Structure formats: C-alpha cells, structure tokens
Amino acid sequence: MASKEVTGKKAASAASKVLRSKGSSKAAKSAAGSALSQTKMRAKVTSTKAGSAASKTLRNSGSSKAAKSAAGSALTQRPNRRKK
C-alpha cells in the first residue's frame, strides 16, 4: 500500500545535510536516503531495512538534529503494520 506522505522541504534539506556529512552513521544515511527519495513520489514507501535504520537513528542520543529529522520523515512514510 502506498503512503500518502511525502518528504517536506525542511526534512529533505536535513536529509541532504546528513548524506553530505562525513560524521553521519550508516543508519542515519540510510534513513536520509530513503526520506530524500520520497520528496515528490507519493507511491514510494520506506522499506523495512530503511525503517529499521531510521528507528535506530531516532533512538541514538548522539544523532544530530538533521539526522533525526530525516529519520522521522522516513518513518512517517512506512506503511502501517497489519494487526494480528
């Protein structure tokens, strides 16, 4: 199922900053890449792997504000989990 969310301008800018940063973690860059790829594409959703990386980035207290912004955007675009 496609998400109705797209990455906003501020989150896209933050994602770009994370991708250019040499100090960003692999998880942060994965989440940022996922968020950036969904800037204008409503049909795209965040993959399970990128969602996991985004979650890891948000839980990491050492992650930058830009990394957390991009990770939050990527997680917003995950499809809802099915109820068991």
pTM value is: 0.71
Residue appearing with tokens 């940063």: 21
The residue ranges of every structural domain in the chain are 9-39+46-76
Total residue length of the chain: 84
Do residues 77 and 35 make contact, with C-beta atoms less than 8 angstroms apart?
yes
Q: Please report, as a single letter, which amino acid is at residue 22.
A: K
- CA 54 from centre of chain: 6
Task: List the pLDDT tens digit at each of the 84 positions of the chain.
Answer: 555 778 888 888 999 999 999 999 999 999 898 888 888 877 778 888 888 999 999 999 999 999 999 898 888 888 776 666
